[in-house]
């Protein structure tokens, strides 16, 4: 992996690639926050702090991300270094100029995803700071977006919006702030850039651990419930959830195949395994040839099965010695019989309008990459 290192609480400028404007907290009140815009010149309100984020789980410790690397598709909060306000996507509101999605800055709160973004690059295994996207984790995945249209007030400031159409105006350059900027403006958030970066937590996943599995492309959690599909075999539905407030239906028990009941066993790469839904006790599977309602992909469901159908397939992040499943390390789930991969689509599930669709696909696109977001284990 070609790595340009970013770390938790890195201090940066965000420069819009098409207009060359710097993302800025204008301090002008609007709705429930303040107007977010881009300006030609940098100032103290143009400095941002990138904070690695993981949804909280009641009863489990909050992760310590101090000096930990930020990787592609990590979930982050974008905080202004001067005001402390956080970029917030209000998908139910319209932006003041172009009537796209509303993107403002506001006080931080533990919402349902309005202030959480995925850091996306064109290639999953290559961090290119000159071409980054920030995609909100909520319904429709609004990207942080700007253009040449300007606000009436403040003057000479380009509008910033949340955009779902996907174009070149979604791309930003991440510019690390100089040591002078860090030392002159920030005290509490200041980082010693000469200190070694701390590696990501090597917390190994074990047989029969209970886990939450996040899709790296959408930020949603692999999810099931007692509801069934209305088409095809009418089996228990599989979805991914937009909300970062995880619930009991987001938990799965990961189990090695071949009758292995040893809870001390780790999960080696290429292992055959079962994923049992914690709420219903049924297992992730595909019924031969079953297709989704639109007939464009193979359907997945939860059911009763005796034979393991999925294989763990690690994604190379430039650390080849890590050949077992680890917390927050990327992987794919390959369906053995079809040689297709579990994927999250950016559209509603066949049954619901508020959860995303999960299917099997033939390629290895970014939407086939998953990670263990949270683990509840005897080995914590």
Bridge partners, residue 110, by sequence: none
CATH code of 173's domain: 2.80.10.50
- Of 114, 100, 321, 332, the C-alpha closest to 216 is 332
Name the maximum alpha-carbon separation found in the chain: 67
Residues 239 and 281 in one domain: yes
Q: Decide if 201 contacts 69 (C-beta within 8 A).
A: no
Cα(114)–Cα(53) distance, integer angstroms? 13
pLDDT of residue 378: 79
Q: Decide if 216 contacts 167 (C-beta within 8 A).
A: no
Question: Is the backbone peptide bond immediately before 154 cis, with ω within 30 degrees of 0?
Answer: yes
Residues 42 and 137 in one domain: yes
Per the domain annotation, does 106 fall within a domain?
Answer: yes
Per the domain annotation, does 340 fall within a domain?
Answer: yes
Residues 122 and 156 in one domain: yes
Q: Decide if 126 contacts 188 (C-beta within 8 A).
A: no
Give the domain extent around 295: 210-376
- Of 99, 87, 88, the C-alpha closest to 49 is 87
Residues 278 and 352 in one domain: yes
Q: Decide if 156 contacts 148 (C-beta within 8 A).
A: no
Task: Look at the chain and report how many structural domains it folds into.
Answer: 2
DSSP labels, 264-318: T-B-BTT-EEEEEETTT--EEE--TT-B-TTSSSEE-EEE--SS--EEEEE---S
Cα(124)–Cα(49) distance, integer angstroms? 22
Instruction: Report CA torsion sign: 243, 246, 247, 251.
Output: positive
DSSP labels, 323-376: -B-BTT-EEEEEETTTTEEEEEEEEE-SS-SSEEEEEEESS--GGG-EEEEEEE
Cα(174)–Cα(161) distance, integer angstroms? 18
Per the domain annotation, does 179 fall within a domain?
Answer: yes
Residues 161 and 52 in one domain: yes
Where does a domain end: 170, 185, 200? Answer: 185
162 by Cβ neighbours in 10 Å (0-12 / 13-18 / 19+) ranks as: buried
Q: Which residues contact 82 (CB under 8 A, 6 or more apart)?
A: 25, 44, 45, 47, 185
Residues 237 and 271 in one domain: yes
Residues 157 and 29 in one domain: yes
Instruction: Say what the pTM is.
Output: 0.91
Residues 157 and 275 in one domain: no
Cα(25)–Cα(270) distance, integer angstroms? 47
Where does a domain end: 152, 185, 218? Answer: 185
Where does a domain end: 185, 218, 245? Answer: 185
Residues 67 and 137 in one domain: yes
Angle at 330 between CA 111 and CA 117, to 5 degrees: 25
- Kindly give the parts of the chain with pLDDT less than 70: 1-3, 184-196, 199, 317-322, 350-353, 380
Residues 118 and 223 in one domain: no
Residues 215 and 160 in one domain: no
Per the domain annotation, does 350 fall within a domain?
Answer: yes
Per the domain annotation, does 136 fall within a domain?
Answer: yes
- State CA 311 to chain mean position distance: 22
Tell me if residue 138 falls in helix, strand or coil: coil
Residues 98 and 144 in one domain: yes
DSSP labels, 18-59: TT-PEEEEEEEEETTEEEEEEESS--GGGEEEEEE-----TT
Per the domain annotation, does 2 fall within a domain?
Answer: no
Work out whether strand 272-277 and strand 310-314 pair parallel, antiparallel, or are unpaired: antiparallel
Q: What is the pLDDT of residues 304-321, one digit of tens each?
A: 988 889 999 998 765 555
Per the domain annotation, does 1 fall within a domain?
Answer: no
Per the domain annotation, does 204 fall within a domain?
Answer: no
Q: Which residues of 305-329 are buried (b: 16+ CB within 10 A; e: fewer)?
A: eeebbbbbbbbebeeeebebbbbbb
Q: What is the pLDDT of residues 229-288, one digit of tens each?
A: 887 778 999 999 887 888 999 999 999 998 888 999 999 999 999 999 999 999 999 998
């Amino acid at each position: 992996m070609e790595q340009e290192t970013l770390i938790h609480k890195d201090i940066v400028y965000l420069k819009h690639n098409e207009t060359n404007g710097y993302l800025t907290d204008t301090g002008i009140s609007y709705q429930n926050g303040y107007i977010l815009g881009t300006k030609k010149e940098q100032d103290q309100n143009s400095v941002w702090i990138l904070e690695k984020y993981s949804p909280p789980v009641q009863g489990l410790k909050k992760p310590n991300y101090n000096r930990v690397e930020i990787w592609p598709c990590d979930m982050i909060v974008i905080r202004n270094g001067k005001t402390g306000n956080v970029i917030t996507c209000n998908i139910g509101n319209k932006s003041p100029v172009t009537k796209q999605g509303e993107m403002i800055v506001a006080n931080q709160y533990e919402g349902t995803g309005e202030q959480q973004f995925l850091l996306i690059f064109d290639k999953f295994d290559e961090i290119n700071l000159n071409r980054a996207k920030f995609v909100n984790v909520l319904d429709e995945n609004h990207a942080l977006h700007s253009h040449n249209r300007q606000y009436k007030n403040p003057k000479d400031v380009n509008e910033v919006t949340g955009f779902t159409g996907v174009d070149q105006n979604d791309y930003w350059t991440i510019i690390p702030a100089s040591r002078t900027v860090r030392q002159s403006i920030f005290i509490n958030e200041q980082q010693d850039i000469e200190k070694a970066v701390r590696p990501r937590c090597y917390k190994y996943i074990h047989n029969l651990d209970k886990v939450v599995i996040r899709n790296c492309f959408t930020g949603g959690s692999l999810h099931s419930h007692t509801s069934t599909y209305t088409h095809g075999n009418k089996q228990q539905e599989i979805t991914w959830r937009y909300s970062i407030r995880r619930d009991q239906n987001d938990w799965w028990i990961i189990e090695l195949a071949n009758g292995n009941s040893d809870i001390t066993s780790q999960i080696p790469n290429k292992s055959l395994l079962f994923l049992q839904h914690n709420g219903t006790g049924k297992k992730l599977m595909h019924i031969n040839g079953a297709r989704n309602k639109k007939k464009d992909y193979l359907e997945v469901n939860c059911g009763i099965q005796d034979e393991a159908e999925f294989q763990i397939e690690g994604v190379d992040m430039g650390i080849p010695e890590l050949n077992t499943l680890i917390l927050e390390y990327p992987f794919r789930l390959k369906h053995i019989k079809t040689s297709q991969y579990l994927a999250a689509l950016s559209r509603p599930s066949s049954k619901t309008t508020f959860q995303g669709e999960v299917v099997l696909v033939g390629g290895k696109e970014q939407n086939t990459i998953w990670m263990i977001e949270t683990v509840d284990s005897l080995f914590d």
